[in-house]
Amino acid sequence: MTANQGSADEAAVNKPAFSQELLSQVAALPSLPGVYRYYDADGQVLYVGKANHLKKRVSSYFQKTHDGTRTGHMVSKISRMETTVVRSEAEALLLENNLIKTLKPRYNILFRDDKSYPYLKITGAKTAPPDALGHPSPKSIPRVVYYRGAVDKQHDYFGPYPSVWAVREAIQLLQKVFRLRTCEDTVFKNRTRPCLLHQIKRCSGPCVGLVSEHDYVMVQAGKACVNLAMVRGGRHLGDSPYFPTHVEGAQPVEVLEAFISQHYLEIVAPPTLITSHAVDKDLIRALSDQMGIKLHVIHQPREQRKSWLEMAQQNAAIKLGRLLAEEGSQQSRTRALVDALDLAPEDMDNFLVECFDISHTAGEATQASCVVFHHHQMQSAKYRRYNIEGITPGDDYAAMRQVLTRRYAKLAEAVRAGEATFPDLVLIDGGKGQISMAKSVFEALELDISRLVGVEKGDGRKVGLEELVFADGRPKLTLAQDSAALMLVAQIRDEAHRFAITGMRAKRAKVRTGSSSLEDIAGVGPRKRAKLLQRFGGVRGVADASVQDLCTVEGISLTLAQAIYAALH
């Protein structure tokens, strides 16, 4: 026996003996990210770990010897194992952290600090008197800050985050959207003028009274997120966020009950639901009767179920925050446009913009489009197309006159009668010539020309160099390429252009194929029309066909063939 053989045999003798069931479980592990938990013979948790590749990571514990090490002591006690598959290593990190806090495994505590992960902390607002100058106390103005350590109930904590960079990025986003303060209380109390963050619009300046306490801490009402996390056999199968509408003034439990009753109205619910709030027992009883199963609802889970609920709640908070951030970004663009154009809408949330564009091909199939921007986003259901007729082909000015007259003639009368409201801003895709034409229409209808603005292409007709032309005589306005106002104007203008082009192309194709001729014939639906065009190669071929030839097409009777022939001749 060689020396190497002897050492190998000695290692085999010292290697712990594991049950065949445990080794089979290890061999069957997937090559996916996840979290693993080791238990001893008494059912006590020994260790919780994460892995980007479960099979490789877990197998390493059972294939190597760990004599005399802390890991070796832990491995020698492993009697049972549980795993949870997740979607990414970052998610595994968060789940691992939550499980360590919940289960407190013996071997994790020895070499991992469960308070080491970073959080985003928003301090709680407390009632406190202002200082001698009337400025608010820092205790009454919440602060957003990067944080490590134990959490408490006095403040709001979001996380844990997988990295410091992720927390910093979230704080920057909150500063940009909500302009929350980040300064220390001592700095806050000693400020006499706004800091640099206020000047670059990253803080609202509460330290010097530029925003009231009420406005600063005002809650974003009417928004909620229900996050549905699906777990089967201990495996996380993903989650889906739902954002219900009309939730103003509703309590969280009411939102949750409404979701459960509607979501499981037509699909079968799992036997167990874990909820963040105690829901109405009558609702659960009714659902159980409807599905024919006993439905169990747990709202105060323990151990692993608690960690799943915490993950679902955390994801709901993140997704709701993302929604609010996106909406805040949209609102900031609207505000930037209003400021840039020196407008004064009565209600920023109801700021209404309509934009017009003309499209044709060498004067053929001229169409005008009108797109609508309202409530900080495009409203496609309110878009309209107008077929332009009775003008000289290619006369864009006449086309613009016609569409504006058709759009606003009746509306102008309703506005004067106090029965309707006019858009806060009307954008025209064009320069000085189009604005002059639009101005004449507005003056004839006695409309406010200060709301009429043209979007003129800049030098070289390059995107980002557009200039705004005002009907009321103000000088042209050139916005910076990275201006939020210009981005919003470009979005609305491009949408009007897209909508006009798609309509024009459809109309042109309809005219060129003559499909409108067949569409006007009673009894010729889309299927029969398609068969006729396919059989004869187009409308011209259908027109050249005899009644007998038309009858050879499937679905075309003698009576219908005679009607088609008469319509095309």
Q: What is the mean pLDDT of the chain?
A: 80
Tokens of 491: 């979005």
Q: Is the predicted pLDDT of residue 7 greater than 60, yes or no?
A: no
- Ramachandran area for residue 283 (φ above 0: left; ψ -120 to 50: alpha; else beta): alpha
pLDDT at 85 over 80: yes
Q: What is the pLDDT of residue 13?
A: 46
Q: What DSSP letter does each residue of 426-477 carry, written as one string?
A: EEEES-HHHHHHHHHHHHHTT--GGGEEEEE--GGG-TT--EEEETTSPPPE
Q: Are strands 296-298 and 272-274 parallel, antiparallel or unpaired?
A: parallel
Does the pLDDT value for residue 110 go beyond 70?
A: no
Residues near 218 by Cβ (< 8 Å), separated by ≥ 6? Answer: none
For the segment 100-124, the average pLDDT, to the nearest whole number, is 69
In the predicted model, what is the mean pLDDT of residues 491-507? 82
Confidence check: pLDDT of 118 > 60: yes
For the segment 96-120, the average pLDDT, to the nearest whole number, is 68
Angle at the Cα of 253 from the Cα atoms of 251 and 255, rounded to 5 degrees: 75
Spatial contact of 333 and 487, defined as CB atoms under 8 Å apart: yes
Token pair 């009907």: residue: 471
Sheet holding 119-122, edge to edge: 144-147, 119-122, 156-158
Take residue 549 and report the two structure tokens written for it. 């030839």
Per-residue pLDDT, averaged over 391-408, amounts to: 91
**Given this model, what pLDDT does residue 248 score?**
61
**Nearest partner of 209 among 186, 181, 182, 184, judged by Cα:** 181
Question: Is the pLDDT assigned to residue 109 strictly greater than 90?
Answer: no
* Nearest residue to 67 (alpha-carbon basis) of 16, 112, 21: 16
pLDDT category at 38 given cuts 50, 70, 90 is very high
pLDDT value of position 508: 57
Report the distance separating Cα 244 and Cα 226, nearest Å: 8
Q: Looking at residue 210, what is its pLDDT?
A: 80
Q: Is the pLDDT of residue 568 over 50?
A: yes
Q: What is the pTM of this model?
A: 0.44
Share of the chain above pLDDT 70, in %: 82
Packing angle of the helix pair 396-416, 432-444 (nearest 10 deg): 30
Lowest mean pLDDT among 149-153, 185-189, 452-456: 149-153
Q: Which residue has the higher pLDDT, 422 or 538?
A: 422
* 158-172, 173-187, 374-388, 477-491: range with lowest mean pLDDT: 158-172
Q: Quick one: average pLDDT of 194-223? A: 73
The pLDDT, as a whole number, for residue 224 is 75
Mean per-residue pLDDT for 260-279? Answer: 78
Q: Give the pLDDT mean for 178-189.
A: 85
Average pLDDT estimate for 357-377: 84
Task: Give per-residue burial for 130-164: e unless 16+ CB within 10 Å, then b.
Answer: eeeeebbbbbbbbbbbbbeeeeeeebebbbbbbee
Neighbours of 88 (CB within 10 A): 12
Helices (H), 275-340: 281-291, 303-340
CA distances for 255 relative to 222, 268, 273, 335, angstroms: 11, 20, 16, 31
Q: What angle do CA 270, 226, 171 make, to 5 degrees?
A: 135
- Could you tell me the domains of the chain? 3-111 (3.40.1440.10), 119-216 (no CATH), 226-323 (no CATH), 348-511 (3.30.420.340), 514-568 (1.10.150.20)
Percent of the chain topping pLDDT 90: 16
pLDDT at 220 over 80: no
The encoded tokens of residue 392 equal 């000289």
Judge whether residue 511 has pLDDT over 70: no
Best-predicted range by mean pLDDT (178-182, 197-201, 310-314, 493-497): 493-497
CA trace torsion 371, 377, 379, 380 (10° rounding): 70
**Position 239 pLDDT exceeds 70:** yes
Residue recorded with tokens 């993950």: 311
What is residue 388's predicted lDDT score, i.e. its pLDDT? Answer: 87
Question: What would the mean pLDDT of 366-388 be, rounded to a whole number?
Answer: 90
Q: Contact, 496 vs 377, CB < 8 A?
A: no
Q: What is the pLDDT of residue 246?
A: 62
Q: Which of 332-341, 427-436, 457-466, 531-540 has the lowest mean pLDDT?
A: 457-466
Render pLDDT for 298-323 as a digit per residue (tens, 0 to 9).
888 888 788 878 777 777 777 777 66
Report the pLDDT value the prediction gives residue 356, as an integer from 0 to 100. Answer: 95
Low-confidence winner among 54-68, 75-89, 147-161, 376-390 (lowest mean pLDDT): 147-161
pLDDT at 426: 96
Task: Write down the pLDDT at residue 66.
Answer: 65
Please write down the HEC assignment for all residues of 466-510: CEEEECCCCCCEECCCCCHHHHHHHHHHHHHHHHHHHHHHHHHHH
Per-residue confidence band for 465, with pLDDT thresholds at 50, 70 and 90 = confident
pLDDT higher than 60, residue 431: yes
Is the pLDDT at 464 greater than 70, yes or no? no
**Amino acid identity, residue 205?**
G
Question: What tokens does 557 get?
Answer: 């009777």
Q: Determine the pLDDT at residue 1.
A: 46
Lowest mean pLDDT among 141-155, 257-271, 333-347, 522-536: 257-271
Mean pLDDT of 343-361: 85
pLDDT of residue 3: 44
